[in-house]
A = this chain, B = another copy of it.
Amino acid sequence: MNIGSVSAKSGLPAKTIRYYEEIGLIAPDRTPNGYRDFSDTHVHKLTFLHRARSLGFTIEDCRTLLALWEDKARASAEVKHIAQDHLAEIETKIADLMDMRDTLAHLVDTCAGDHRPDCPILKQLSGETPDEKEA
């Protein structure tokens, strides 16, 4: 199967598939003309990678998960551990972003957003405590 079809089936851009080969995540065969030749197993792996990536796992996590997936004697604890670590990182990111959001939302709310130069957003960034809307 050519890379185009695999791209369509796995949902990954051809560029990404080539990249995954380059970093050793997948190893397609080659036809005599030099084209990559993928089997259904390769497609399955790539689909797996696509799903794992869209859950935010890093490439290195994906590499490990793929190995565990192929290891029929793995312990599910290993997989769970990776997922839990990743989950914790996501929670942290969410918390950080929510802090940013709260601060920003407040600033946006207090800024008149008109033609005048007075701006609580810039005030806060420059270290001044911006005036509140209501005292």
Contacts and interface: CB of A to CB of B under 8 A. Distances in A.
Interface stretch (A13-21, A24-32, A75-83): A75-83
A56 B107 CA distance: 14
Interface residues of A, number: 53
A112 interface: yes
A54 B87 CA distance: 23
Interface in A119-135: 119, 121-122, 124-127
A51 interface: yes
B65 A87 contact: no
Contacts of A108: 80, 83-84, 87
A59 interface: no
Contact of A76 (B100, B101, B118, B125): B118
A105 interface: yes
Interface of A: 44, 47-48, 51-52, 54-56, 65, 68-69, 71-77, 79-81, 83-84, 86-87, 90-91, 93-94, 97-98, 100-101, 103-105, 107-108, 111-119, 121-122, 124-127
